[in-house]
């Protein structure tokens, strides 16, 4: 989902460099942020269920 948002906004671009301040690191951090915001919204609206261990 986060990658789709980045793509729609035109934020996915060639990385070109490496290291802790590279575009690829920035893209990963932004994707994590979007995913966290989505999870928080889901939790606040009751649409996030706790994980199941499968023990039923």
- Give the CA distances from residue 23 to residues 12, 27, 55, in Å, rounded to whole numbers and listed in that order: 9, 6, 42
Instruction: State residue 14's pLDDT score.
Output: 63
Read off the tokens for 9.
């906004």
Q: Whole-angstrom Cα distance, residue 6 to residue 11? A: 5
How confident is the prediction along the chain (56 residues), in pLDDT tens digits per residue? 677 777 787 777 665 677 888 878 888 888 888 888 988 898 889 887 777 766 65
pLDDT at 49: 77
What is the per-residue pLDDT for 25?
A: 84
Residues contacting 16, CB < 8 A, separation 6+: 22, 23
| Assessment of whether the complete model's pTM goes beyond 0.85 | no
Task: Give me 51's structure tokens.
Answer: 């994980």
């Amino acid at each position: 989902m986060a990658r789709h948002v980045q793509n729609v906004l035109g934020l996915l671009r060639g990385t070109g460099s490496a290291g802790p301040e590279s575009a690829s690191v920035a893209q990963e951090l932004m994707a994590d942020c979007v995913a966290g915001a989505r999870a928080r919204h889901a939790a606040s609206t009751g649409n996030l269920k706790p994980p199941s261990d499968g023990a039923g």
